[in-house]
Amino acid sequence: MTTKSARGKGESFLSGLLRHQIVIPIAALLLLAIFNLIVDPSFFRITFGYNSAGNPVLKGYPITIIDYGTELAILAIGMTLVTAASGGQDISVGAAIAIAGSVILRILCGTGESTDGLQAPIIVAVLVACVVAMIFGAFNGALVAFFKIQPMVATLILFTAGRSIAAWINHNELPVTSDAGFKAFGNFLPGIPIPAPCFFAVGCFIVTWALLKFTNLGLYVQSVGINEKTSRLNGLNPEFIKLVTYVLLGLCVAVSGFIKVARLGTINYSVIAKDIEMDAILAVALGGNALGGGKFNMPASILGAYVIQFLTTTLYKFDVQSDALSAYKAIVVIVLVVLSAPTVREKLSTLVKKLRNTNQTVPSA
Amino acid sequence: MANHAAKSRTALGGRLRSMTDTNLLMSITIIVFVLMYLFAMIVLQKGFLKPQTLFNILNANAALIILSCGMTLVMITGGIDISVGGVTALVSMSCAVYLDYHGGSVFGSLLLALGIGLAFGLIQGYLVAFLEIQPFIVTLAGMFFARGMTTIVNTKQFNVTHEGFLRLKDARIIIPFLGSYNKRGDYIDAYIEIGVVVALLIVAILFFVLKWTKTGRNFYAVGGNKQSALMLGINVKRTVFLSHLLCGILAGIGGFVYFMHVGSGSPSHAAGAEMNAIASSIIGGTMLTGGVGNIIGTLFGVMSLALIQNIVSSIGLDQAWWTGITIAAMLCLFLVIQSVIIARRKRANLSAAAGSKE
Amino acid sequence: MREGSVLEMHGIYKSFPGVKALQNVDFRLCAGEIHALMGENGAGKSTLIKVLTGVYQKDAGEIRIEGKGTVQIRSPQEAQRAGISTVYQEISLCPNLSVAENIFLGRGEEKLLSWRKMNQQAGKLLDSLGIRVKPTQQLASCSIAVQQMVAIARAVDMDCRVLILDEPTSSLDESEVAKLFQLMRDLKKRGVGIIFVTHFLDQVYDVCDKITVLRDGKLVGEYAIENLPRVELVSKMLGKELDDMADIKNDIPVFNEEKAAPVYEVKNLSSTEGIEPFDFYIRRGEVNGFTGLLGSGRSESVRAIFGADKVTGGEVRMDGKSVKITKPIEAMKNGIGYLAEDRKRDGIIGDLSVRENIILALQVKTGFFKPFSKAQQIKFADEYIKLLDVKTASVNTPIKSLSGGNQQKVILGRWLLTHPKYLILDEPTRGIDVGTKVDIQKLVLKLASEGMSVTFISSETDEMLRTCSRLIVMRDRKQVGELTGDQLTQNTIMNTIAGGEKE
């Protein structure tokens, strides 16, 4: 009797722990951290220094992860919403970032070749990029919501055309700006040793938190994602809500695009934000969110994004070529989805039960 | 009385409704292709009057036709495979490295290509069919794995110099009577490459399989309704597995044909080929939702896609970006057509069903 | 095996996480008999059938088939090979294929098809069964009834020893049902054993020879049809004497129509779901109902009232004021609540908690920018969990892990929380236990006495009689009568539903 109840308790504690989605990305994070700690503890060293412009900066791999994880984390926010509401993912975010970046540079640099001064205020460029990215988001959203096309296929259109459109916006020229004020947003703000993108990330997190806290966005998105028909009968407009999630993702894309171009002051249409859609989807999955839609956990997704960046940085550290990165990530994805597949889980749980039973019968006998 | 009325309504409701979805969507594609070609011949003239232009489209797209055939198979069962472009690149690179750096034979490289395709088909098929993981995620990972592996096999682009292979690559099959005269008045033979023959052979075989064999019809049944197919006594898992397996093998063959056409290995080869293959299948009348599609339609889908790119560039819009934009526009158009047609038909069927009840 | 049996099942057990769906069930089917399998929803009928057809694997027990001995059935194919064919309630054919293909799919050994031969054979078969459809037609373009008949034709053609008909009549009209019964009798003469699952008692007594009753996953018994009068069958299915359910009868509301003003009134309401435009009104504190057979248009009518389907016309007045109701949100803003017929599809949001499911409608009504605080949500949820006696572990339990009856109470709570003036309940008692049914009926009467107007729809007429003071009768998507006062008896309802247009 006692062993039985103890087992029941143990199980419920374990399953209770596992019920918290955020456990999955935290576990992955710890795994990576431990791996790095064993292989090379200097991975975690952070140094203080000055960059070429004389600004105080913090350096080290952890800083790199937080810095370069920004775009991914911001995209993960939008991707989580889109996934939850429409049960599919947007694979055009990389291409859309190229468009947003292209728009920003077009406005800042004008039509001429590379210029030193800016042709327009940065805020104007960003706002226009936001509008453009949201319009493209709305295009994707409309195909998904009103024409009922599977999200991944609907966004295939922009995925195919996006980088071409980006090139077309600047007539295939590569505008370059060396304006320090603009580039500071992608690197370091004067006098602040923390990378500037981190502030964007924090800003986005706060806005998202507020959006989920002070509006019904979360409830509506989850309801629509879980049961569209019921949602409609409870007064929601599922099509509109899906559309809104894609528009919000568009906004995330614009912010990410801005940071991306601000880092370099230029754009390479075919390379910028390459394969980022894969990373963003992976972040959502790693956050333990069902890719088929429904309930979501935003902090878990965001943490998932940083885990991916952690993985990327770790691989870079081991001199893996950037083009070869995807092979390793693919393996991580497969392991992840295989482990989370319902059929595999079922088998695993029966296996665990069997093991436990044998363990428990042995001492009592 | 009621029966009578219903009868006349179905007669009026037209041939269209009695046509299967597959045939309807395929007809649209073929009509669009023919109209576009006529337009090109009449308005643009130039090369479009020469048969060789058509053959060149085939030569350049033989690999894509094969990839699209595999994609169509998977899509008919309700899945999707976006690893085909990556597999193509991996096959080209592996074969190139094998031929030039390891002194391999042409036959050996063909086996290598098939082996890679088979491996992708087996693993992806197993994950999708038996572990029931979303095909998109599985093949997305497959695509990234293949692209990454291509770089790991060799980072740089290089042209193959293996003699036997070059002979094969330059082999041309002359088509009699369809040649043309150049400006100096010399007769130039019309030709196709070996890859085209392979592609057309595969189209023919798959057309036969899908139309006349039980296995082929099972693909449609599974795509139409998995649950029903199971109840009707079809081995759904095996069918889904088979579709991915075939798609993988076809990606291997397509990769080799691609390799024969370009004669080099490069990590950036066949970039976006998966998207072109999906687009071709959709334009060819394959429904994303599964259960509807046709190999002949797919052939015309590839040809339409290639044709419109040719037309766009001969109009003078020859910058690189127009290609992407045109494909996307065409894909968008056909997706919307599909979604509208299906919505229409659903409504028509509903009222027909209600009507017959009266 | 006993003499004459084609199929015997012994000691079948099957459980799912948390539910014992079948416990020690025996079943025996003789050659040439039509055997009804009866039970309430959740009694285990469909589980038993799914075990027999290889969709589920039994946990324990034995299945024997005449001439084959004990068989293991692990998949639908194996069931087919063992001579067991099934026609399901929901059409399980492929809509994208032709009629002929659907008949021959997944059968036979030859690898290649001959379309000509297949179409010919299908044509012959369909002719012999009197089904009028072209073999080459795409299945999706046939009416539901024809699709159902095609499924039966397929089963018939498979030369089966055991034919299972799982609620095949729910989408068929009278003449089609008659045709089906003729078919069943023909097959019976050929020595086929038929298992017939239906909810329609009339049909059971029309065509069956034996009845096996299940309740709560256990076998109640096997009876010859002549030894089991209807009343007894019903009480065996429910596990209660009929009197248990009669106590509520005393509370029949005395509703005085003259005094109350109409809360809701509509003229010429129509929707895209093909109902005849109709007029309708309900007064304050009134309970009325739509009755009619399945598919008669009763659900479509209330859906049009709520704006759940696309409304195509009609003048709506609430409390005498003209309003526009074309979408659910507009109906909600005007104080209408609607509990939908299909709980799983249109009622619950499965993965969300009981709390979120309760507050959803009110939250949507309140607005996007005014979310309730967590404390407020819990207060609302607790209030209705207590009021309706919902059995749930906590307010944060996902609703999908509750039993059907408790899910229904949660959804009911959701609408009560919006404090509607007018509440529409479409089959609120379907698939839930008798106790909860009575609770819900009592609640409806209590709400009405407090001034709420309620439209109540149920497949069980006695339930309607107990709650409603006015019944609107529907047939073939038309209103064909309105019954009040003394007219409210089983007989008048049946007669009005059947109609006077007998040929």
The CATH number of the domain holding residue A222 is 1.10.3470
pLDDT one-digit tens code per residue, B47-102: 777 888 888 889 999 999 999 999 999 999 999 998 999 999 999 999 999 998 88
What domain range includes position A330? 326-356
pLDDT in the model for residue A257: 95
Q: How confident is the model at residue C245 (pLDDT cuts 50, 70, 90)?
A: very low
Chain B nearest CA to A61, separation (Å) = 24
Is residue C308 within 8 angstroms of chain A, CB to CB? yes
Q: Show residues of chain B in contact with A328, CB under 8 Å.
A: 148
Same domain, yes or no: A247 and A332: no
- The contact set of A with C (CB < 8 A) is 213-217, 219-220, 222-223, 226-227, 229-237, 294-295
Contact A223 C369 (CB under 8 A): no
Same domain, yes or no: A302 and A340: no
pLDDT in the model for residue A16: 52
pLDDT one-digit tens code per residue, A26-60: 888 898 899 889 988 888 888 888 877 777 888 88
Same domain, yes or no: A214 and A333: no
> Does A44 map to a domain?
no
> What secondary structure does DSSP assign to C370-414, as a single string?
-PPPHHHHHHHHHHHHHHHT---S-TTSBGGGS-HHHHHHHHHHH
| Span C148-169, average pLDDT | 82
Same domain, yes or no: A338 and A280: no
Q: Is the pLDDT of residue A180 over 90?
A: no
**% helix, strand, coil for chain A, step of 5:** 70, 5, 25
Per cent of chain A over pLDDT 70 is 90
| Span A64-78, average pLDDT | 95
| Span A106-114, average pLDDT | 73
pLDDT in the model for residue A10: 43
Supply the DSSP symbol for C353.
B
Supply the DSSP symbol for C199.
S
Supply the DSSP symbol for C261.
P
- How far apart, in Å, are the Cα atoms of C56 and each of C46, C51, C60? 10, 5, 12
Computed over every residue of chain B, the mean pLDDT equals 84
Task: For A49, list phi and psi in degrees, rounded to 5.
Answer: -160, -165
> Does A8 map to a domain?
no
Same domain, yes or no: A179 and A264: yes
**How many Cβ atoms are within 10 Å of C70's Cβ, its own excluded?**
11
Would you kindly state where each structural domain of chain C is located, as residue ranges? 5-243, 244-335+422-503, 343-419
pLDDT in the model for residue C258: 60
> Does A11 map to a domain?
no
Q: Is the pLDDT of residue C282 over 60?
A: yes
pLDDT one-digit tens code per residue, B168-217: 888 888 888 777 777 777 787 888 889 999 999 999 999 999 988 989 99
pLDDT one-digit tens code per residue, B311-329: 888 887 767 778 778 888 8
pLDDT one-digit tens code per residue, C30-71: 988 999 998 766 678 888 988 998 888 888 999 998 888 888
Who has greater pLDDT, C32 or C477? C32
pLDDT in the model for residue B335: 84
Most A CBs within 10 Å: which of B137, B150, B155, as the mutation test of the A interface? B137
Computed over every residue of chain C, the mean pLDDT equals 84
Q: In what order do the strands lie in the sheet with C19-30?
A: C19-30, C5-16, C60-65, C69-70
Supply the DSSP symbol for C95.
T
Q: Could you give all domains of chain B from N- to C-terminal order, each with its CATH number? A: 23-351 (1.10.3470)
| Span B21-27, average pLDDT | 79
Same domain, yes or no: A254 and A205: yes
Same domain, yes or no: A109 and A196: yes
Q: Show residues of chain A in contact with C347, CB under 8 Å.
A: 230
Nearest residue of chain A to residue C303 (CA atoms): A233
Q: Is the pLDDT of residue A1 over 50?
A: no
Q: Is the pLDDT of residue B46 over 80?
A: no
Nearest residue of chain A to residue B145 (CA atoms): A327
Strands B158-159 and A47-50: unpaired
> Does A331 map to a domain?
yes
Who has greater pLDDT, B229 or A96? A96
Most B CBs within 10 Å: which of A83, A148, A152, A156, as the mutation test of the B interface? A156
Per cent of chain B over pLDDT 90 is 37
- The contact set of C with B (CB < 8 A) is 53, 55, 75-77, 80, 86, 88, 91-98, 101-102, 105-108, 110-113, 115, 134, 136-138, 140-146, 154, 173, 274, 295, 476-477
**How many Cβ atoms are within 10 Å of C290's Cβ, its own excluded?**
26
Contact A215 C369 (CB under 8 A): yes
Contact C360 A219 (CB under 8 A): yes
| Span C26-31, average pLDDT | 91
| CATH number for domain C244-335+422-503, candidates 2.40.50.140, 1.10.357.10, 3.30.70.20, 3.40.50.300 | 3.40.50.300
| Span C339-353, average pLDDT | 88
pLDDT in the model for residue A364: 44
Most B CBs within 10 Å: which of A153, A165, A291, A320, as the mutation test of the B interface? A153
Contact C369 A214 (CB under 8 A): yes
> What secondary structure does DSSP assign to C310-347, as a single string?
PEEEEEEEETTEEE---SHHHHHHTTEEEE-S-IIIII
Identical topology for domains C5-243 and C244-335+422-503: yes
Q: How many domains does chain A have?
A: 2
ipTM of the shown complex: 0.84
What is the rounded CA–CA span in Å between residue A209 and residue C97? Answer: 49
- How far apart, in Å, are the Cα atoms of C238 and each of C35, C43, C200, C208, C403? 20, 10, 15, 20, 18
Same domain, yes or no: A214 and A340: no
Query: Among C57, C84, C7, C22, which residue's Cα sits nearest to residue C214?
Result: C22
Q: Is the pLDDT of residue B336 over 80?
A: yes
Helix, coil or strand: residue B190: strand
Q: What angle do CA B229, B234, B237 make, to 5 degrees?
A: 90
> Does A151 map to a domain?
yes
pLDDT in the model for residue A187: 86
Same domain, yes or no: A352 and A233: no
Neighbour subunits, A (≥3 Cβ pairs < 8 A): B, C
Computed over every residue of chain A, the mean pLDDT equals 85
Chain Cα centroid distance, residue B37: 20
Helix, coil or strand: residue A134: helix
Query: Which residues does residue A363 pair with via DSSP β-bridges, in sequence order?
Result: none
pLDDT in the model for residue C279: 92
Per cent of chain C over pLDDT 70 is 90
Question: Is the dihedral angle over the CA atoms C270, C272, C276, C280 positive or is it negative?
Answer: negative
pLDDT in the model for residue C394: 87
Helix, coil or strand: residue A354: helix
> Does A49 map to a domain?
no
Most C CBs within 10 Å: which of A20, A234, A295, as the mutation test of the C interface? A234
Chain C nearest CA to A217, separation (Å) = 7
Query: Nearest Cβ partner of C364 from A222, A227, A235?
Result: A235
Q: Is the pLDDT of residue B7 over 90?
A: no
Question: Is the dihedral angle over the CA atoms A152, A155, A161, A162 positive or is it negative?
Answer: negative
Name the fold adopted by C5-243. Rossmann fold (3.40.50)
Same domain, yes or no: A249 and A349: no
pLDDT one-digit tens code per residue, C58-110: 889 999 988 888 888 888 878 888 888 888 766 678 888 889 988 888 877 77
Query: Which residues does residue B180 pair with via DSSP β-bridges, in sequence order?
Result: B188
